[in-house]
Amino acid sequence: MWAPSKPLLITIVGPTASGKTDVAIFLAKKFNGEVLNADSRQIYRDFTIGTGKPLLRGQQKTSGRMPLARSCYDWCGPVASGRADSGRIVDGVPHFGFDLIPPTVRFSAADFQKYARRVIDGIISRGHLPILVGGTGLYISGVVDNLVFPPAPDLKLRARLERLPLKTLWRMLKRRDPQTATQLLKDGQDKNRRRLARYLEIIMPTGEPLAETQKKTASEYNVLQFGLAWPRKKLFERIDKRVDKMMRDGWLKEVRRLVKKYGANVPAMTSLGYRELAAGEPIVKIKAATHEYARRQMRWFKRDKSIKWVPGGKHGILKTYGIIDRTVRAKIHASGIQTGARPFGRKKNATSPTRFGQSRNGQTF
């Protein structure tokens, strides 16, 4: 439910290679926005080419650092210390969520939720529009739906579970949580040992199904969600071309360097494409695995009926921009957020409303 007292949050979701970053940058320039990236692979340092970080996609026109008031490393779950995430400029737009942790560290959706709240608060305090963009569904849902996550992971239990045979893990999950097991089978994840172990780790201490441990609560934001829809054939062609470009950019060399530096068993090395290249798999297998990943992403996002789907692609991009632009403006105007207590263009303690594209003293951003 929309409320003038809540700040506005725009989210851009969709499968890999659907052009989410381009749309986010367009909106950020249109509405004085800053972008928060929600990608569970791009959070890792040194994993650059194969994760598609925008700095290697020809989108960086200026370079710099965006100051963030508070360091993320004293409250981001397993990350206890380190430098602050001060953001970076991509095509003139502040971005957050890249290179947060080393490849040896695990980072959960609950950790991202804590991080995202701090970054979004910082964006709002600067009088700008927060734009959450990415393809990691649980990261997005954790912020948008204000999920209540289960307690901190039991690493000893996880280690014991990960030593069990795959068939044993599957039987245990089917017996304890048939609904989750059915969904995993539908998503083609019934042989994902890491996911099976993690789900059992959450379920076993309480005996409750997974759905009961990740409950939605009232959102902290007025959320507008947009999804980029592509014809499957066109999307797969984009994925294949992107994989080919990554290989030309030196992806295999990057993987070899990372294996030499960190080993092949660190958490980040489970990333799609990295594990295949580290194991000597052919490129065609990476493309097929990425196609399947895109299907799973779409199945996840299609379950959320609040997402407004707009066309992707060269011929649909102007239509997409127009739809999003009109929807954002109409929603803000109809709900009164522009003059509410905490609209996106106004700082928390401001005494007068801020118009689109203007700072408190009236200067254009």
Q: 275-302 pLDDT, tens per residue?
A: 999 999 999 999 999 999 999 999 999 9
17-26, 118-127, 152-161, 263-272: range with lowest mean pLDDT: 152-161
**Phi-psi label, residue 335: left if phi above 0, alpha if psi -120 to 50, beta otherwise:** alpha
Mean pLDDT of 253-257: 97
Rounded CA gap, 365 and 363, in Å?
6
Give the CA radius of gyration of the chain. Answer: 21
- Give the pLDDT of residue 318: 65
Provide the pLDDT for residue 2. Answer: 64
Residue 235 and residue 103 in one domain: yes
243 and 129 within one domain: yes
Q: What percent of the chain has pLDDT over 70?
A: 79
CB 74 within 8 A of CB 68: no
Mean pLDDT computed over 77-105: 75
Alpha helix locations (H) across the chain? 20-31, 109-125, 137-144, 155-162, 166-176, 178-186, 193-206, 210-213, 232-248, 251-262, 274-278, 283-302, 317-335
pTM of the model: 0.78
The answer to whether residue 59 sits within a structural domain is yes
Same domain, 185 and 293: no
Domain interval for residue 45 = 8-148+218-339
Is pLDDT of 306 > 60?
Answer: yes
Task: Say yes or no: 125 and 273 in one domain.
Answer: yes
239 shares its domain with 118? yes
> Quick one: pLDDT at residue 327?
80
Same domain membership, residue 250 and residue 170: no
pLDDT at 10 over 80: yes
What pLDDT score does 60 carry?
42
356 neighbors 345 (Cβ within 8 angstroms): yes
Domain-located, residue 329: yes
Q: From CA 86, how far away is CA 94, in angstroms rounded?
A: 10
Q: Using an 8 Å Cβ cutoff, are 231 and 187 in contact?
A: no
Same domain, 258 and 285: yes
> Would you give the DSSP letter of residue 52?
T
**Residue 57 banded pLDDT, cuts 50, 70, 90:** very low
Do 262 and 329 lie in a common domain?
yes
Domain count, the chain: 2
Strongest mean pLDDT among 55-69, 85-99, 100-114: 100-114
The secondary structure of residue 89, as a DSSP letter, is E
What's the CA gap between 210 and 212, in Å, rounded? Answer: 5
Q: Are residues 200 and 284 in the same domain?
A: no
**CB contact burial 261-293 (16+ within 10 A = b; e otherwise):** ebeeebbbbebebbbbbbeeeebeebbebbbeb
Q: What share of the chain is helix, strand, coil (3-state, %, to 5)?
A: 45, 10, 40
Same domain flag for 172 and 276: no
Write down the pLDDT at residue 313.
63
Question: Is pLDDT larger for residue 197 or for residue 74?
Answer: 197
Mean pLDDT of 120-142: 95
Using alpha carbons only, give the angle 33, 36, 37 rounded to the nearest 5 degrees.
Answer: 135
Residue among 17, 51, 39, 13 at smallest CA distance from 240: 17
- Rounded distance, CA 209 to CA 82, Å? 36
Residue in this structure with the two tokens 């980029």, named with its chain if needed:
228
Coil/strand/helix, residue 129: strand
Query: Which of 76-80, 211-215, 218-222 has the highest mean predicted lDDT (pLDDT)?
Result: 218-222
**Confidence (pLDDT) at 118:** 95
Q: Which residue has the higher pLDDT, 220 or 61?
A: 220
Shared domain for 141 and 239, answered yes or no, is yes
Reported confidence tier of residue 31, pLDDT bands at 50, 70, 90? confident
Task: Find which of 69-78, 81-90, 251-260 is predicted with most confidence, using mean pLDDT.
Answer: 251-260
* pLDDT the model gives residue 345: 37
Q: What are the φ and ψ backbone dihedral angles of 215, each rounded to 5 degrees? A: -90, 140
What CATH number corresponds to the domain at position 313? 3.40.50.300
Neighbouring residues of 168: CB distance < 8 A, sequence distance ≥ 6: none
Please state, in angstroms and rounded to a whole number, the distance separating the CA atoms of residues 328 and 8: 10
What's the CA angle centered on 128, arms 127 and 129, to 5 degrees? 135
Same domain, 141 and 163: no
Q: Does 348 fall in a domain?
A: no
12-16, 132-136, 211-215: segment of lowest average pLDDT: 211-215
Give the residue-averaged pLDDT of 168-197: 87
Q: Tell me if 347 is assigned to some domain.
A: no
Q: What is the mean pLDDT of the chain?
A: 81
The whole-number pLDDT of residue 69 equals 27
Are the CB atoms for 1 and 61 separated by under 8 Å? no
Which pLDDT score, from 0 to 100, does residue 158 have? 85
User: What is the model's pLDDT at position 1?
Assistant: 59
